[in-house]
Chain A
Amino acid sequence: MNTDIKVNDIKVIVFQLQNEEYGVSVEQVLSIERFQHITRVPRTAEFVKGVINLRGVVTPVIDLRSRFGIEEKEFSDSSRIIIVTVEEMNVGLIVDAANDVIDISSSAIEPPPEVVGGIKTDYIRGVAKLDKRLLIILNLNKVLSPDELSEMQNLEEVQ
């Protein structure tokens, strides 16, 4: 687990999905790539878009929109693939745009609001308030949990 989130300032990469802003800790980000050819991998979870050739390394890519249950849209010029590393896995995340790196003091991060009947979102680590902006800080370990992946796969197989 990344302890940096709890102490002092952390640097996060900010990206957009739909109209919301998300952040991931900069330590977990290897690079940000322009959109490129993705080879589809059949019989995997819906949000797994396929694999790309990342300078000689075959890297899986997932669509964060579909992973978070947001309606998918065509990839555009501003679409980016953020390559993150979690527990020795390198995975690319497709986002609408990524254009900012900011420092957040850890005191600005609040736990995710829990509402009765709300969607269970254990992949959200917290919400950071910055002036008028709200930044959703992701827990990448949960976003990329292999259990989730195999669960999804099983679901599809059943269907």
Chain B
Amino acid sequence: MEKNQYLDMFIEESKEHLLSMNKNLLEMEKNPSDPLLISEIFRSAHTLKGMAATMGYEDLANITHQMENVLDGIRNNSIVVSSDLLDVVFESVDVLEEIVMDISSGGEGKRDVVTIVKKLEKIEQGTTISETSATLEIASTDSMLDQQFDNFERTVLIQSKEQGFHAFQAHIHLREDCILKAARVYMVFDVLEQVGEVIKSSPTVDQLEEENFDLDFTITLLTKDSVEDVKAKIFKVSEIDHVSISEINVEEFQSSEELQETEQVEKSEIVENETISKELTDSSKATEGTRGSTSPSNKTIRVNIDRLDRLMNLFEELVIDRGRLEQISQDAKNEELSETVEHMSRISGDLQNIILTMRMVPVEQVFNRFPRMIRGLAKDLNKKISLNIVGAETELDRTVIDEIGDPLVHLLRNSMDHGIEHPSNRASKGKPEEGTITLKAYHSGNHVFIEVSDDGAGIDRNRVTERAVKNGIITVDKSSTMQDKEVYELLFSSGFSTAEKISDVSGRGVGLDVVKNKIESLGGNVFVDSVPGKGTTFSIQLPLTLSIISVMLVEIQSETYAIPLSSIIETAIIKDEDILVVHNQKVIDFRGKVVPLIDLTSFFDVPKSKENNGYQSIVIVRKGDKIAGLVVNSFIGQKEIVLKSLGNYLSSVFAISGATILGNGQVALILDCNSLIK
């Protein structure tokens, strides 16, 4: 069997499903009665089971099968969600993860799963649930025009009614001469998704898509619009013969809820339905064989990152030549030539956007696994900790994403173990028992910052210096004269652990210096700040590794420098007399703010070649929320450039982040605004 060719896909998808299961389980812990979450988890488990069985991983299939039973019990309200129950479910997800890891590292995917399966069985038997999962594989192919609703849908209907939505059933009849039926259906769905949410269709979306229906179909819609509006909107789609819309009487369900026996087969069909209709509106079709994948997925194809790198390198060459060509056409003043060059520039600009975004991945990918980890560790440590994630959508280059996971785990563990105090301690200090760790990602200039902050005890200066002296990192004399910041930096020196007791959580003090090394090897930086009693913040500064960036070219005397547009707030020209001096520092009053000025001519020792004419050109740049004004001689203009390193020999030049080649073949240096502003 040619199993290998599917193995990669299987592993990737299993990981995705496990991730979404973890995420949803955590949500469910907070919010145990949400039927959507349970269905979501159920679906992941179900898909995983199907894939595992196909690939012949029996142990994996066994666990997921048993999990399905339990989840189904929860869904039918015959099993009550408790913390113990979730622990078992989490544990089984862990085992699943282990198995998938084993498979991805070339193993057989075999594990002793008897215990965990027993545990799950026990939970299941503690209840009077009807056996269901086996029948789930068979999706009903009956296309009933009269829609029936199961428990889950009824709940959705009732809940949405309470939130002021109307539930309509729209019966749509297509014209007989309609050629592309599936396309019309898609358009109807598209229209309806804009006014509300389609919760069910009959025949199923699968069948609709395959044109596996006659001329009419029925859709159940939740919306705030009126019947007439919906009708008018549906009629906007051509080739529709007639539409009849009726309101669903939700109260009826509530009274007759117990009476209605639901078929499990129907249910599974509907769960599938819902995802697929979502995906349909995302203008994509679920890939064959992977029904109901987790997130609203687009059609994707996995590409080796090496190929993307090569594409990127080739494109860089192109951008340099483009710059040349632009210059040549400007000089040649040939209209035809400049039109063509302009067109080419536009196309290559689009191309560039696509290539760049192709390599960017939201940090979410890394962050996703943390809530689960925090939950587990907090239990082990007997602490109450909640994780607050901000800016998970921030995008970073794929290569950086791959490397950043471990350092973050170290920092999070460190915060949990050393930062956050025990609940009793916290209570006595008047803090809430539950500690909070905030994981925050944001862009600034050419960098992405990731901060791990906790509201724990902060860094104890005395304990740090004591330990540092004891370990021979600093001398006693020095320890008393050091600034707080310098003391905190000691945490990153190797062979340092302030925890009195070595715990298996944050290790033996190898953590933080490893973190620092790793981040620095990525071209980044890590800082720590702390307020005793209030908490500690570790912030990691990472390069975007965007190799093509937009810059503003400026002239400093007769030298050309590039300032990344992402750092620039605006440019200004001010009179000499508007420059004030505060404590030997030149400043300007800019839009009500006092902005310090940096004269780049003297900062970079540029040989003077230009006379001052009484006006100063200033570029206002920022780092986070701090701003500064850079004094230059003139602005040349905006340009897309290829970021090049200065070579290994000049690996770290202060305030210069790299170089680029201009249209005239000369090299211009790129300013690093983040190091100019302290």
Other-chain contact of A43, B559, B655, B665 (Cβ < 8 Å): B655
* Chain B residues within 8 Å of A53, by CB: 661, 665-667
- The answer to whether the Cβ of A13 comes within 8 Å of any Cβ in the partner chain is no
Q: How far is the CA of A50 from the CA of B647 in the complex (A)?
A: 11
B655 touches A39 (CB 8 A): no
- The answer to whether the Cβ of A88 comes within 8 Å of any Cβ in the partner chain is yes
A60 touches B604 (CB 8 A): no
Other-chain contact of A40, B559, B645, B647, B655 (Cβ < 8 Å): B559
- The answer to whether the Cβ of B650 comes within 8 Å of any Cβ in the partner chain is yes
Other-chain contact of B320, A41, A44, A56 (Cβ < 8 Å): A56
- The answer to whether the Cβ of A137 comes within 8 Å of any Cβ in the partner chain is no
* Chain B residues within 8 Å of A146, by CB: 649, 651
- The answer to whether the Cβ of B85 comes within 8 Å of any Cβ in the partner chain is no
B-side binding surface: helix, strand, loop or mixed?
loop
Residue of A nearest to B658 (CB): A58
A54 → chain B, closest Cβ, in Å? 10
- The answer to whether the Cβ of A128 comes within 8 Å of any Cβ in the partner chain is no
- The answer to whether the Cβ of B135 comes within 8 Å of any Cβ in the partner chain is no
A42 touches B604 (CB 8 A): yes
B659 touches A43 (CB 8 A): no
B643 → chain A, closest Cβ, in Å? 10
- The answer to whether the Cβ of B182 comes within 8 Å of any Cβ in the partner chain is no
- The answer to whether the Cβ of B668 comes within 8 Å of any Cβ in the partner chain is yes
- The answer to whether the Cβ of A98 comes within 8 Å of any Cβ in the partner chain is no
* Chain B residues within 8 Å of A43, by CB: 604-605, 653-656
Residue of A nearest to B656 (CB): A41
Q: How far is the CA of A53 from the CA of B669 in the complex (A)?
A: 12
Residue of A nearest to B648 (CB): A89
| Given A37-B666, A39-B666, A53-B665, A91 and B604 contact (CB-CB distance below 8 Å) | no
A52 → chain B, closest Cβ, in Å? 7
* Chain B residues within 8 Å of A52, by CB: 667
A41 touches B646 (CB 8 A): yes
Residue of A nearest to B316 (CB): A56
Other-chain contact of A39, B320, B603, B669 (Cβ < 8 Å): B669
* Chain A residues within 8 Å of B665, by CB: 37, 53
| Given A39-B668, A53-B667, A58-B667, A144 and B649 contact (CB-CB distance below 8 Å) | yes
User: Quick one: which of B320, B605, B646, B655 has the most chain A CB within 10 A?
Assistant: B646
- The answer to whether the Cβ of B644 comes within 8 Å of any Cβ in the partner chain is yes
B650 touches A41 (CB 8 A): yes
A residues 13-34 near B (Cβ < 8 Å) are none
Q: How far is the CA of A88 from the CA of B651 in the complex (A)?
A: 12
A42 touches B659 (CB 8 A): no
A44 touches B559 (CB 8 A): no
Other-chain contact of B659, A39, A44, A90 (Cβ < 8 Å): A39
Q: How far is the CA of A37 from the CA of B667 in the complex (A)?
A: 9
Q: How far is the CA of A56 from the CA of B661 in the complex (A)?
A: 7
B40 → chain A, closest Cβ, in Å? 50
- The answer to whether the Cβ of A1 comes within 8 Å of any Cβ in the partner chain is no
Q: How far is the CA of A90 from the CA of B646 in the complex (A)?
A: 10
B649 touches A39 (CB 8 A): no
A89 touches B659 (CB 8 A): no
Residue of B nearest to A62 (CB): B649
* Chain B residues within 8 Å of A48, by CB: 650
- The answer to whether the Cβ of B505 comes within 8 Å of any Cβ in the partner chain is no
Q: How far is the CA of A53 from the CA of B664 in the complex (A)?
A: 10
B263 → chain A, closest Cβ, in Å? 68
Q: How far is the CA of A14 from the CA of B661 in the complex (A)?
A: 31
* Chain B residues within 8 Å of A90, by CB: 647-649
- The answer to whether the Cβ of A57 comes within 8 Å of any Cβ in the partner chain is yes
B residues 605-661 near A (Cβ < 8 Å) are 605-606, 644-651, 653-656, 659-661
* Chain A residues within 8 Å of B651, by CB: 146
Q: How far is the CA of A52 from the CA of B650 in the complex (A)?
A: 13
Residue of A nearest to B603 (CB): A42
* Chain A residues within 8 Å of B646, by CB: 41, 51, 58, 60
Residue of A nearest to B556 (CB): A42
- The answer to whether the Cβ of A66 comes within 8 Å of any Cβ in the partner chain is no
B604 → chain A, closest Cβ, in Å? 4
B650 touches A42 (CB 8 A): no
A42 touches B649 (CB 8 A): no
| Given A51-B667, A53-B665, A42 and B605 contact (CB-CB distance below 8 Å) | yes
- The answer to whether the Cβ of B162 comes within 8 Å of any Cβ in the partner chain is no
Other-chain contact of A58, B559, B604, B645, B654 (Cβ < 8 Å): B645
A residues 68-103 near B (Cβ < 8 Å) are 87-91
- The answer to whether the Cβ of A139 comes within 8 Å of any Cβ in the partner chain is no
Q: How far is the CA of A64 from the CA of B466 in the complex (A)?
A: 48
| Given A41-B656, A42-B606, A56-B661, A89 and B647 contact (CB-CB distance below 8 Å) | yes
* Chain A residues within 8 Å of B317, by CB: 56
B669 touches A41 (CB 8 A): yes
B458 → chain A, closest Cβ, in Å? 33
- The answer to whether the Cβ of A59 comes within 8 Å of any Cβ in the partner chain is yes
B647 touches A39 (CB 8 A): no
Residue of A nearest to B320 (CB): A56
User: Quick one: which of B604, B645, B653, B654 has the most chain A CB within 10 A?
Assistant: B653
Residue of A nearest to B642 (CB): A56
B604 touches A51 (CB 8 A): no
- The answer to whether the Cβ of A124 comes within 8 Å of any Cβ in the partner chain is no
B650 touches A44 (CB 8 A): yes
- The answer to whether the Cβ of A149 comes within 8 Å of any Cβ in the partner chain is yes
Q: How far is the CA of A59 from the CA of B668 in the complex (A)?
A: 12
Q: How far is the CA of A59 from the CA of B646 in the complex (A)?
A: 7
* Chain B residues within 8 Å of A60, by CB: 646-647, 649-650
* Chain B residues within 8 Å of A87, by CB: 648
B585-615 vs A, CB cutoff 8 Å, 1 = contact: the mask equals: 0000000000000000001111000000000
* Chain A residues within 8 Å of B320, by CB: 56
* Chain B residues within 8 Å of A59, by CB: 647
A41 touches B653 (CB 8 A): yes
B112 → chain A, closest Cβ, in Å? 49
Residue of B nearest to A48 (CB): B650
Other-chain contact of B647, A37, A42, A56, A58 (Cβ < 8 Å): A58
A147 → chain B, closest Cβ, in Å? 12
User: Quick one: which of B320, B648, B654 has the most chain A CB within 10 A?
Assistant: B648
Q: How far is the CA of A108 from the CA of B667 in the complex (A)?
A: 42
Q: How far is the CA of A45 from the CA of B603 in the complex (A)?
A: 15
Residue of A nearest to B604 (CB): A42
* Chain A residues within 8 Å of B603, by CB: 42
Given contacts A60-B650, A149-B649, 17 further A-B contacts (CB under 8 A): A37-B665, A39-B659, A39-B666, A39-B668, A41-B650, A41-B669, A42-B605, A43-B604, A44-B650, A53-B661, A53-B667, A56-B317, A58-B644, A58-B667, A59-B647, A90-B648, A90-B649
- 24 CB contacts below 8 A, A to B, read A39-B659, A40-B559, A41-B650, A41-B653, A42-B604, A42-B605, A42-B656, A44-B650, A44-B653, A48-B650, A51-B650, A53-B661, A53-B666, A56-B317, A56-B320, A56-B661, A58-B661, A87-B648, A88-B648, A90-B647, A91-B647, A91-B649, A146-B649, A149-B650
Nearest first, the 7 A-B pairs at minimum CB distance are A42-B604, A39-B667, A89-B648, A89-B649, A58-B644, A58-B659, A60-B649
Hey, which bits of chain B sit against chain A, CB under 8 A?
317, 320, 559, 603-606, 644-651, 653-656, 659-661, 665-669
